[in-house]
Amino acid sequence: MGIPQQHRSLLSTDDLTDADLRAVVNRGVEHSTGGSGGTRTLAGDLVGVYFRMTSTRTRTAFSAGALRLGAQIIAYGPDDLQINTGESSEDTGRVFGRMLDVMVARTGLPQQELAGWADPDRLCVVNAMTVEEHPTQALTDLTTLKARFGRIEDLRVVYVGEGNNTAAALALTLPRFPGVRFELRTPPGYGLTDDIRERAEEHARRSGASIVERHDMDALPHDTDVWYTTRWQTTGTSKPDPGWRDVFAPFQVTRRLWEHSPRAVFMHDLPAHRGDEVTAEVLDGRMSIAMDQAENKMHSAMAVLEWCRGAEPTA
């Protein structure tokens, strides 16, 4: 199957229209259920996979996904490029654009600098995580929710933990679905940034969803569909406050959260630290769909790559 030679980049979930967002999620579900028919929509494409920071799921997902779609890949490690010897980021991006079709990158660069590599005439760039946002994780999570519940609309999702890049990406996507109630319980001093919160609230106003952030674990909701957490030490970051663990301790996900929401599922973007952000009883229990979520990262990655290159899924 030939595809148009488009070069669309995914630097933030806000790069997706509402129609694009639903189409990518639906396509991810198709891949997860085998409904995509084993298509090789990226045959002939060359995908770069550049990770200067650690990754298990995202790197494997995009590598395996690109190969399953018929592309070839070039993998770069943290010490492989001349950017380490002083070549500018701009020149590095120009070179990629002359040789590759897609670059999937987790570089530690600010999101705006990564955007400088994107070229609508030459190169798609996929943000595989920056400090500001983790867009492909949110798309994975939406794919998992759609596969589990058959819908995203009207779900109640409660996120417990730091307002990190995963929380930011969820805040920028879940409120775009009508009726969603997204609640964040973040430790004091570790919430969403003002910019992310304002953008998320605008999405909620437009769609009829709701987003609420609190900095305590009091008066928890009783009708939750999903409890979600991430590890307390976000990849590539550290906390300046030596007493941060005392601040985070009340925000551990334990079995008690299921007392009034017995049918809720548990999600975690992984890696997990049992005994910190979540107990082993929850992570390894029957309520956990964290491993389904991890597998869906590959299916969602395939949908993202197709969207970037113009292999249009049906909304």
pLDDT at 96 over 50: yes
Q: Model pTM?
A: 0.94
Kindly state whether residues 26 and 161 are assigned to the same domain: no
Kindly state whether residues 18 and 118 are assigned to the same domain: yes
Confidence of residue 94 (pLDDT cuts 50, 70, 90): very high
- Long-range CB pairs of 52-55 (<8 Å, 24+ gap) are 52/77, 52/78, 52/106, 52/107, 52/108, 53/78, 53/106, 53/107, 53/108, 53/129, 53/235, 53/236, 54/235, 54/236, 55/106, 55/128, 55/129, 55/235
Kindly state whether residues 177 and 269 are assigned to the same domain: yes
Most confident of 1-15, 25-39, 102-116, 286-300: 286-300
- Among candidate residues 171, 193, 185, the one with its CA nearest the CA of residue 250: 185
- Long-range CB pairs of 201-207 (<8 Å, 24+ gap) are 201/175, 203/172, 203/175, 203/176, 204/175, 206/176, 207/175, 207/176, 207/177, 207/178, 207/180
With respect to residue 242, please indicate whether it lies within any of the assigned structural domains. Answer: yes
- What 8-state DSSP symbol labels residue 253? B
Q: Which amino acid is at 221?
A: P
Kindly state whether residues 155 and 271 are assigned to the same domain: yes
With respect to residue 5, please indicate whether it lies within any of the assigned structural domains. Answer: no
- Long-range CB pairs of 195-200 (<8 Å, 24+ gap) are 196/132, 196/133, 196/163, 196/168, 196/171, 196/172, 197/171, 199/14, 199/171, 199/172, 200/171, 200/172, 200/175
Kindly state whether residues 118 and 204 are assigned to the same domain: no
Kindly state whether residues 147 and 178 are assigned to the same domain: yes
Tens-digit pLDDT profile for residues 33-49: 987 767 899 999 999 99
With respect to residue 6, please indicate whether it lies within any of the assigned structural domains. Answer: no
With respect to residue 3, please indicate whether it lies within any of the assigned structural domains. Answer: no
Tens-digit pLDDT profile for residues 3-22: 455 789 999 999 999 999 99
With respect to residue 7, please indicate whether it lies within any of the assigned structural domains. Answer: no
Kindly state whether residues 173 and 74 are assigned to the same domain: no
Which distant-in-sequence residues (6+ apart) come within 8 Å of 2 by Cβ? none
With respect to residue 49, please indicate whether it lies within any of the assigned structural domains. Answer: yes
With respect to residue 2, please indicate whether it lies within any of the assigned structural domains. Answer: no
**CATH number of the domain within which 154 lies:** 3.40.50.1370
Kindly state whether residues 192 and 289 are assigned to the same domain: yes
Radius of gyration of the chain (CA): 19
What total of structural domains would you count in the chain? 2
Tens-digit pLDDT profile for residues 153-211: 999 999 999 999 999 999 999 999 999 999 999 999 999 999 999 999 999 999 999 99
Kindly state whether residues 124 and 144 are assigned to the same domain: no
Kindly state whether residues 29 and 94 are assigned to the same domain: yes
- The residue-averaged pLDDT of 283-303 equals 98
Domain span including residue 150: 135-294
Tell me if 209 sits within 8 A of 179, measured CB to CB: yes
What is the structure's pLDDT at 137? 98
With respect to residue 290, please indicate whether it lies within any of the assigned structural domains. Answer: yes
Q: Which amino acid is at 213?
A: E
Kindly state whether residues 106 and 213 are assigned to the same domain: no
Phi-psi map region of 279: left, alpha, beta (phi>0 left; psi -120 to 50 alpha): beta
Kindly state whether residues 53 and 159 are assigned to the same domain: no
- Report the sign of the C-alpha dihedral through residues 16, 18, 22, 25, in that order: positive
